[in-house]
Amino acid sequence: MKTTHLTDNISFTYNAEVAIHVDSMITAHVSVYSYVFRTKDGEWSLDPMDTEVDWLLNGENVKHNGFKELYFKLYGEDKYRTLLNNVCAEAEKMIEGRVCTSFSDILRDKL
């Protein structure tokens, strides 16, 4: 019997928090839970698995359901969904850029 090594597929989980300043009154703290892996060309890539958003009004934490209800009443459900999707997409985009440009340094604890 002969054993031959074919390949290694190394992956990591990467959790990061990002602050998104929506406007002068609203800030979102977004926690992004991601799967990081090497592509076939040797670059690092990101696959976000989950995001959690904590809302702040005028710098104060507010309950998620309270913020959602207030935003619904002021702007409607479609505007809230758009806001939530935009905030999550912006956070994921920032983290993906960080992973693609700096993940090797993060692994070596140089950042």
pLDDT for 48 beyond 70: yes
Range 67-75 average pLDDT: 95
When comparing pLDDT for 30 and 105, which is higher? 30
CA–CA dist 110, 7 (Å, integer)? 27
Residue 52's contacts (CB-CB under 8 Å, 6 or more residues apart) are: 30, 31, 33
pLDDT for 111 beyond 50: no
Phi, psi of 50, deg, nearest 5: -160, 150
pTM of the model: 0.80
pLDDT score, position 87? 97
pLDDT for 101 beyond 70: yes
% of residues, the chain, pLDDT over 70: 95
The token duo for 46 is 């990101």
The 10 Å CB-count burial string (b at 16+, else e) for 14-39 is: bebebebeeeeebbbbbebebebeee
